[in-house]
Amino acid sequence: MFKRLVGIFPLIVALMLTSNVAIAQTDDPHFRSKEEEDLISCANELNNGKLPVDFVLPNGAYDASFFPPTKVPKDLDEIRCSDYTWLSKPDAAFLTVTPTSHGRMLSTRDRSEAQARWDCSHSFITYAVFGRRLVGFFRYEWVYAGGGQLYGNWGNGKCTHSVSQFPGWGKDTISVPYRQYGVRIAVQSWSHNSDNFGHTGADCPDLDNCYWTTTLRISSLPSTTRRVTISGSMFILDDESWPFSDEKGTFSISESRTLSPSNRRAEIFMKHCVGDEVRVELNFILQLEGDNTTVSVTGQAKLFEGTNCVTRDKEDSKTFAMKLTAGASQATTIKLKNRGVGGGDYANINFSVLNGQ
């Protein structure tokens, strides 16, 4: 699935080690141009239950480093989804994942500076994050949230890894801020060991490929900056007596506001009118609670009917209230009706509120 092309260029390597010639992407025999595409396809195997979990992260909220076990692929020249180390956090609603250290700690104590730089440039950390989302009535699906391949760069006497180091791709950190029903993480740290390609051949038992324990920084602490999103629709009917036809209107609800400890309150107001007679007003009050992650939402819907769209003749009203913890969402339906003489006007309002980040 993930082909690793192996080439032998000892003369070229020797020249690079002595002259610091830049390595072109096409010259790197281990660059995998379709890496992210192949990782995305691992979601299919997750959904089919074919990928076992190698390391289970603890439940709860925390910000900590973990050292999942190393898995050596069965076929070192062809990497499959099952060859990655898979971590699971079953209770995760949101998560931030950052690979912080490649397991191979290079040092000039056992090799030259030029050799360390060369070995570092031929090492990388590959990782991918998947979230399990609700996509139907008690039906869940694993989806790819993001990932990256962090290549090594030698500087200040140490080897660090980043997607900014050519030919890396993706992001150094992946956040899964939306509502999840579990998170899976695939990770692998690799380095080249072949003495035919200028390496020492002594870093691990295999003469070509070495696999190392990756350090992952996992944060399941919600951000205190909350993005509250409201989405839905509003249907209004202006009931008309015969021979006139009823007038109707459907309106989209799509609003969002950002709350934070320095901006704890926000209001949203909207109104729509149908038939120049029936008006519906809907307002929301958003409040960040004392824990800086929970959001309380209160509001009211009102139905007016009169001879124009600015009438103050109120026919019906309903209030609503909810509290949403970080990452949670709630759906609400409100029905308003004109029950007065000559009534029949009504409104149906459906909306959901998400406390995201």
CA distance 356 to 231: 13
φ, ψ for residue 88, nearest 5 deg = -135, 140
Q: How far apart are CA 278 and CA 166, in angstroms?
A: 62
pLDDT score for 93: 65
pLDDT in tens, 99-156: 999 888 888 888 999 999 999 999 999 999 999 888 777 788 999 999 999 999 999 8
Please provide the DSSP assignment of 104-156 as one string. Answer: ----TTSS-HHHHHHHHHTEEEEEEEEEEEEEETTEEEEEEEEEEEEEEEEET
Residue entry with tokens 């050799």: 115
The residue whose two tokens read 């397991």 is: 103
Which residue from 23, 61, 123, 5 is spatially nearest to 292, judged by alpha carbons?
Answer: 61
pLDDT score at 13: 40
Pairing of strands 158-162, 78-79: unpaired
pLDDT of residue 14: 40
Portion of the chain with pLDDT greater than 70, in percent: 88
- Alpha carbon 55 to its chain centroid, in Å, reads 20
Domain ranges of the chain: 2-219, 226-356
CA distances from 52 to 46, 181, 187 (A): 9, 17, 13
Predicted local distance difference test score (pLDDT) of residue 50: 87
Amino acid letter, 8: I
pLDDT tens digits along 67-104: 999 998 877 667 899 999 999 998 866 788 999 998 88
**In angstroms, rounded to a whole number, what is the distance separating the alpha carbons of residues 143 and 140?**
10
In this model, does residue 320 exceed pLDDT 70?
Answer: yes
* pLDDT digit string, tens, across residues 192-236: 999 888 999 999 998 888 999 999 999 887 777 888 999 999 999
Question: How far, in whole angstroms, is CA 149 from its chain's centroid?
Answer: 16
Task: Judge if pTM exceeds 0.75.
Answer: no
**CA 269 to CA 302: how far, in whole Å?**
12
- For residue 173, give Cα distances in angstroms to 94, 126, 135, 138: 13, 12, 26, 30
**Cα distance from N-terminal residue to C-terminal residue, the chain:** 35
**Alpha carbon distance 245, 266 (integer Å):** 40
Q: What is the pLDDT of residue 25?
A: 37
Phi, psi (degrees; rounded to nearest 5) at 70: -80, 140
Contact 144, 39 (CB under 8 A): yes
- Predicted local confidence at residue 216, as pLDDT: 95
